[in-house]
A and B are shown apart, each in its own frame.
Chain A
Amino acid sequence: MDDIQFILNGMMREALSPQTAAVAIAVIGLNIHFGFTGLINIGQSAFMLLGAYGFAISIWHGLPMVVGLLFGFGAAFVFALVLGAPTLKLRGDYLAIVTISAAEIIRYVGRSALLTDFTGSAQGIPGSQFRDPFTNLSFFGGGQFTLLPFNYTDVADGAAWLRIIGWVLVVAVIVLVVQRLRKGHAFAGIGQAALMLGLIVVGLFLLFFLFPVPNQRTGVNGWWVRFIAWGLVLVCTLLVYLLVRSPWGRLLRGIREDEDAIRSLGKNVFAIKMQALIIGGLFGALGGMVYVLPASVQPDSMGRSLTFFCYTALLLGGAATIFGPVLGAIIFFAARIGIKYTSAAYVPDSIMNGQQTEQFSYIVVGVALMLIVIFRPQGILGNKRELRFNV
């Protein structure tokens, strides 16, 4: 039972981690590219890295945080323009090859010893150099804090039956929420929306009740950065919801389904694709900034693998859906830690040692990505008909 508690606590911590939120934001951006417009951008990590560099380098060199944000977004904007100009008129796989190459160029430049004073070369920029202006904004105060003042350990001495009932309830709520989201009218009308929000709140409440996660109020990796990170996820989700419902959003879908049809309507397909690339890239940059806040800017931690994780999260949650990226990112990271801890706890060391559990979890991620695309391309929330597009 202790093992299970340990694994579940680890998964919960990972699910709530600000880096999960950061990846969720980047995946929201990727969803605009891949899900809604059908652009295969395999360089989302470069947008993240550029955002992070713009933000961190500015603050490191004494500029105010607002300027840092502007530089981060500016870098991603220019990057999208440079990438899009030669490739958006070509067939889709050219964009794929160019974005992944350009992402590597950015990483090589960031690693270069010539730019040590700016990028910190391969060692990167430690978080302590740029984090302070952000933590200084905190109004959360200091010290430790558990989100719910009471939890399962206070009730019936934390008996096993209580936890089991709790888990069953949590799973039930999640299934209910997912089913309502899949039907697609979860937010139609005030009553439906209220019910939906109520369910989500109850689910979160139950989770926090079952897995008390104490954290610092402000600190390096405390509630403050979590609050901002998940707040941004919420804002981004809302933004995308509004964007794809607009006439512009319909054009995106149109381009994905049949580019020539949209062109024949007199629309400038190239410009719309470019706008989509830029907007998704800006979300990526924002994700990158959040990603480095509780850690450090390291070019090698934001390489191709991160892009591939973004794709796995997106396809898991469901491309071309509003909540898919967020759900996918949470499940992706929680499941990976779950696999890692489970194999560490139950597989003997002679078969799989500590390091190998980490690698095993990534093997599972790769295989899962293949299986999702083959057997359930629409992911958890998606609509299969939306994902038939081709190059």
Chain B
Amino acid sequence: MVRGAAGLILALLLAPLLALIPTGAAHAVDTLCLPGPEAACIAGTIRTEDGPLADVTLTVTDEAGTEQEVTTGETGKWNLQLDQEGPYVVKIDTDSLPDDVVVTEDEVTVKATFGATRPALFEVRTESYSAETSKFDELVQSTVNGIRLGLLLALASVGLSLIYGTTGLSNFAHAEQVTLGGLLGYFFVNQQGLSLVVGGVLVVIVCAFTGWFQDRVLWQPLRRRGLGLIQMMIVTIGLSLALQYVFQYAVGARTVRVEQANPEVSTFGPVTITNQSIVAMAISVVVLALVGYALLRTRVGRATRAVSDNPALAAASGIDTDRVIRLVWTVAMGLAGLSGLLYALVTNGIKWDSGMQILLLLFAAVTLGGLGTAFGALLGSLIIGLVVELSPVLGMPGDFKYATAMLILILLLLVRPQGLLGKPQRVG
């Protein structure tokens, strides 16, 4: 029972992504309803947690009492074009449902408007499924998902924070490195047929090289020219825009997957998680621990922190700041690429603007933890990941889960502008 519920939650989380993946077998040609100035549409999908239901009959009644019937197609989809606005009652014919399927409420009212498609939603379930999952189980599952998202964000945001710390630059193109990692994974593993491990190592190497290369041909010359930080930030915006469309140029607007096979799932008590996610979390923890160790214990890590604290003083005490910054760019971009690859594996696909969607979460994480502090970025990422995954459980509408994360950021800036781990100094 519990397992079924967790499976449903997971399916709901993954459903939008799966819907984007071209299924190849597009045999079910559903009649299409196009809303226009004189036409309104109502539409919906009848599906249980097991899959869509075909040949379910629905009756649509208008205010005057005229009835129209529609039947769902093979994908469980149905729609109806209407030539009048107003409320319509949509009733599901329970006799046409398979025997083991129940519907919680068999009647909904939809307000049709010209030029728009309105959804009519029915909660349809098989009898074996129970909606009564305990709140606690849901909370545990979401917490695990939140930590998973947080760790993936942390991989990217630590780099973002280090770049900010050493150069003062807010790199808006950082998210494109995340996308690049995922897309390279698609290219190496899915297209070229390399194994996941070899492909993954290649992705990180290529991404790290792009970081080195970027600093060599773009950022270092710009620093030497004395270009202002705001101007440089706008350069990163331009780079981000250009890269996004390069990705779209290369693979199109579709979602691509790193591995074709469906991931296997393990269950621990109330938590259901794909094996890939477990490995991804393990890799993230190990890599983050290595980065933390390097920053705290090694010579070059201390140099990085010194440049972060005060570049002029660091340079005066004999640290080659340019070399440190070059290294930071290389490592940061490699980490971002790794994060993108893992993100593509965990969320089962990546597309040209996936990175852009998490960019704001990255910025929220970095600012929350304290701009420029690597450990703050880690902490901020975990908080943001948990907020994003937990807020729907705690009552926020699912549409607002990203918005909640940013709202928290804005509220925190009101009371503690330097972030959680930032040093309290006068800013501005």
Contact = CB atoms under 8 A, between A and B. Distances in A.
Interface of A: 38, 40, 42, 85-87, 89-94, 96-98, 100-102, 104-105, 108-109, 111-114, 116-117, 120, 123, 126, 128-129, 259, 304-305, 308, 311-312, 315, 355-356, 359-360, 362-363, 365-370, 373-374, 377, 387-391
Max count, chain A CB within 10 A of own CB: residue among B116, B227, B234, B413: B234
A260 B62 CA distance: 67
Interface stretch (B95-103, B136-144, B245-253, B302-310): B245-253
Interface of B: 37, 111, 114-119, 170, 222, 225, 227-235, 237-246, 248-249, 252, 356, 360, 363-364, 367, 371, 397, 399-400, 402-403, 406-407, 409-410, 413-414, 417, 427-428
B115 A126 contact: yes
B170 A97 contact: yes
Given A114-B397, A114-B399, A93 B241 contact: no
B317 to A, nearest CB: 25
B233 A40 contact: yes
23 contacts: A89-B417, A92-B230, A93-B229, A100-B363, A104-B406, A108-B403, A109-B399, A112-B399, A126-B37, A128-B115, A259-B428, A305-B241, A359-B248, A359-B249, A360-B245, A360-B249, A363-B245, A366-B240, A368-B238, A370-B235, A370-B239, A373-B234, A374-B235
Nearest to A356: B249
Nearest to B415: A86
A260 to B, nearest CB: 10
Contacts of B399: 108-109, 111-114
Contact of A373 (B235, B403, B406): B235
A279 B53 CA distance: 54
Contact of A369 (B116, B237, B252, B403): B237
B410 A86 contact: yes
B228 A390 contact: yes
B231 A373 contact: yes
Contact of B238 (A86, A305, A367): A367
A94 B249 CA distance: 33
A98 B360 contact: no
A123 B233 CA distance: 33
Contacts of A311: 234, 237
A113 B109 CA distance: 16
A369 B367 CA distance: 26
A49 to B, nearest CB: 14
Contact of A96 (B116, B232, B233, B243): B233
Given A101-B360, A114-B397, A360-B249, A370 B242 contact: yes
Nearest to B252: A355
Contacts of B237: 42, 308, 311, 369
Given A86-B413, A308-B237, A126 B402 contact: no
Given A90-B428, A366-B245, A367-B242, A98 B356 contact: no
Contacts of B364: 97, 101
B428 to A, nearest CB: 4
Nearest to A85: B414
A390 B414 contact: no
A104 B427 contact: no
A369 B240 CA distance: 11
A389 B228 contact: yes
Contact of A105 (B240, B241, B407): B407
Contact of A363 (B119, B242, B410): B242
A104 B242 contact: no
Given A86-B413, A128-B37, A366-B244, 4 more contacts: A87-B413, A97-B363, A105-B407, A259-B428
Contact of A377 (B231, B406, B407): B231
B219 to A, nearest CB: 11
A96 B360 contact: no
A363 B240 CA distance: 10
B245 A108 contact: no
A78 B379 CA distance: 32
A362 B410 CA distance: 31
B241 A366 contact: yes
B161 to A, nearest CB: 13
Nearest to B115: A126
A363 B249 CA distance: 9
B116 A104 contact: no
B380 to A, nearest CB: 12
Contact of A92 (B244, B410, B428): B428
Max count, chain B CB within 10 A of own CB: residue among A114, A129, A304, A305: A304
